[in-house]
A and B are shown apart, each in its own frame.
Chain A
């Protein structure tokens, strides 16, 4: 009975550059179909990549392509480990060409690369048509210029790209789970209405899509949930049978751990109704899922159920979101809390007096600020230690970059005009992207979804 081995090399843009290396080292010792996935897309990364592509049509793929693939491409090609990744971002074709260049630099010959087209709604819908669709999530971007509009494609086009017999598949916006379900559909031939199997493959994808989050990363709580070797966290590998039953394990000779607890945390990550986790391929129901110990760092997962997916596809639309200004200054030692709070009052008073109309947040880090609201209401009445180390933080969102600069400068001016001994000023002004979700009919998107092999 065939077992398909799928490992994860990254769970977000910014994940460890070398995590995939140990995964490939393990995969190359296995027999049977083997895949390495990289999941690096977020709603905002796509919009930013779209802007970059507009400036330079040879860019717009994920910059992490350059960081991850050179470390694994040679071993993957030599051992037949196929790579499926959304490193294509806003420009999979340019990404595929870059993969060919990397292969050439490494002396890897005959590498074949395919891409999936069709997630970019702006290629076949007008901005007005898209803007007319009501949003289901996020803020209204009516009247703003659309930066990006991308539908979440499912696993079918990923499977179709693999059927071209390529070594690497680069996609843009698909569901994260499609990076895993696509290879499984390709290997096992699961039909479009084979809900139970599609559900199992989607669950495997959901467990792999965040990389080390299922192997002890984002889990470790020293003294309570200890995880060995966090500085060499082993990334996950799923071993999937044609029955849909699978085992979650991890790369050999690495840190981290796989237990029922690590798997349970990741199963529920970003899940709302556990009976209806909606994807373009299947509506996944995890309420019947059971976990079983299957050896050291091995958890067997069974019991995913599936129902038909929604008639519509979810899409993310993005528009310019102005600027976020942030600035910070530290107070420490005796009476530090009072000095930090006075600094906050000064900044608020001066911004108000000088006409900053935008909502601001001026808070004191060290007082539970991250759990509080914009008005710092939660910490009132709590008994904070007066001494210690506290950090003033001011934040403002604005469409006027000068206002962000002005607020930052008010924090900076505390150096000479504020309470005693503030130090360690840092500030940033970052461009923002606003996003919203819409539902689009499947027909037009699927009519424009296609795969293409990209030659060197």
Chain B
């Protein structure tokens, strides 16, 4: 029985943001397959919407891709108008994947953290 730890998502997963109009998609991909069920359980649409609400996000849809061991979050209206009207440094929201990875915490068995990770 492995001990559980509460860590930022960044300790156990990686991801990438892409933009289309005023909508962003952010993938979340665990480093280890055994982490995937924990992410499906804990990284909910509601949590992601709450994280991005200050940016204007109005809805989040999560798509699960078990074959690829990945989650795909589609976040509506999060880009402050996107390239057309945002005043942010990052008009495409390309940095937002790391806001998600840094701020969302998960409680997982310690073994979900890759062995060489600086988190250990």
Contacts and interface: CB of A to CB of B under 8 A. Distances in A.
A27 B27 CA distance: 32
A372 B99 CA distance: 10
B68 A264 contact: yes
A289 B68 CA distance: 7
B117 A224 contact: yes
B89 interface: yes
A374 B84 contact: no
Contacts of B5: none
Nearest to B81: A139
Nearest to B95: A370
Contacts of B27: 264-265, 268-269
Contact of B20 (A272, A288, A303, A393): A272
Contact of B85 (A137, A271, A272, A397): A397
B25 A272 contact: yes
A291 B67 CA distance: 8
Contacts of A289: 67-68
Contacts of A75: none
Given A264-B70, A270-B20, A44 B10 contact: no
A151 B85 CA distance: 23
Contact of A287 (B10, B65, B87): B65
A437 interface: yes
B14 A265 contact: yes
A286 B63 CA distance: 11
Given A264-B29, A271-B72, A435 B89 contact: no
Interface in B74-120: 74, 80-85, 87-90, 95-96, 99, 114, 117-118
Interface string A375-392: 001100000000000000
A289 B118 CA distance: 32
Contact of A224 (B19, B82, B89, B118): B118
A268 B16 contact: yes
A215 interface: no
A289 B65 CA distance: 9
A371 interface: yes
A374 B74 contact: no
A291 B80 CA distance: 35
A336 B87 CA distance: 24
B80 A373 contact: yes
A265 B29 CA distance: 8
Interface string A412-437: 00000000000000000000001101
Nearest to B18: A270
Interface stretch (A98-106, A115-123, A236-244, A358-366): A358-366
B21 A377 contact: no
Contacts of A372: 54
B87 A361 contact: yes
Interface in A278-293: 286-291
A267 interface: yes
A225 interface: yes
Contact of A137 (B14, B20, B67, B72): B20
A225 B25 contact: no
A221 interface: yes
B35 interface: no
B68 A291 contact: yes
Contact of A360 (B14, B87, B117): B87
Contact of A369 (B14, B18, B22, B89): B89
Contacts of A321: 84
B14 A224 contact: yes
A272 B23 contact: yes
Interface string B1-35: 00000000010001110111111010101010000
Interface in B37-67: 54-56, 63, 65, 67
A321 B83 CA distance: 10
A395 interface: yes
Contact of B70 (A268, A365, A396): A268
Contact of A218 (B16, B19, B89): B16
A270 to B, nearest CB: 4
Interface of A: 43-44, 137-139, 218-219, 221, 223-225, 261, 264-275, 286-291, 303, 321, 359-361, 365, 369-374, 377-378, 393, 395-397, 434-435, 437
16 contacts: A138-B84, A139-B85, A219-B14, A265-B14, A266-B16, A268-B27, A268-B72, A269-B16, A272-B20, A272-B25, A286-B65, A290-B67, A365-B89, A369-B89, A434-B84, A435-B84
